Amino acid sequence: MFTAITRKVSPALAACELEFLPRTAIDLELANAQHATYESYLRECGARVISLPAEPALPDSVFVEDPAVVLDEIAIITRTGAVSRRAEAESLAAALAPFRKLDRIEAPGTLEGGDVLRPLPGQGARTLYVGLSSRTNAEGIRQFAALLQPFGYTVIPVPVLGCLHLKSAASALDSETFLVNRAWINMAPFRDVRLIEVDPQEPWAANVLSLGGTVLMPAGFDRTRATLEQRGYRTRTLDISELRKAEAGVSCMSLRFEDDT
> Does the structure show a pLDDT above 60 at 123?
no
| Cβ neighbours of residue 229 closer than 8 Å, sequence gap 6 or more | 235
Tens digit of pLDDT for each residue in 125-165?
Answer: 789 999 999 999 999 999 999 999 999 999 999 999 999 99
Under CATH, domain 2-258 is a member of which superfamily? Answer: L-arginine/glycine Amidinotransferase; Chain A (3.75.10.10)
Separation of alpha carbons 250 and 41, rounded Å: 11
**Average pLDDT estimate for 191-198:** 94
Adjacent-strand bridge partners of 48: 3
What residue type is 248 in one-letter code? A
Using a pLDDT cut of 90, give the percent of the chain over it: 92
As a whole number, the mean pLDDT across the chain is 95
pTM over 0.75: yes
Residues 6+ apart with CB under 8 A from 131: 114, 115, 116, 117, 157, 158, 159, 160, 165, 166, 167, 185
Q: How far apart are CA 225 and CA 219, in angstroms?
A: 9
Of 81, 24, 87, which is closest to residue 55 (Cα–Cα)?
Answer: 87
**Residues assigned a catalytic role:** 165, 252
**Which tens digit of pLDDT belongs to each residue from 102-111?**
999 999 999 9
DSSP assignment of the chain, as one string? Answer: -EEEEEEPPPTTGGG---SSS------HHHHHHHHHHHHHHHHHTT-EEEEEPP-TT-TTTT-TTTTEEE-SSEEEE---SSGGGGGGHHHHHHHHTTTSEEEE--TT----GGGEE-PSSSTT--EEEEEESSSS-HHHHHHHHHHHGGGT-EEEEEEB-SSSSGGGTEEESSSSEEEE-GGGB--GGGTTSEEEEPPTT-GGGG--EEETTEEEEETT-HHHHHHHHHTT-EEEEE--HHHHTTT--SSTT-EEEE---
DSSP per-residue string spanning 103-172: EE--TT----GGGEE-PSSSTT--EEEEEESSSS-HHHHHHHHHHHGGGT-EEEEEEB-SSSSGGGTEEE
User: Residue 259: which pLDDT band, with cuts at 50, 70 and 90?
Assistant: confident
Q: Where are the domains of the chain?
A: 2-258
pLDDT digits (tens, 9 = 90+) for 23-36: 999 999 999 999 99
CA distance linking residue 85 with residue 140, whole number of Å = 16
At 46, which amino acid appears? Answer: G
Give the tens place of pLDDT for each residue, 43-80. 999 999 999 999 999 999 999 999 999 999 999 999 99
pLDDT given at position 261: 61
Cβ–Cβ under 8 Å, residues 246 and 18: yes
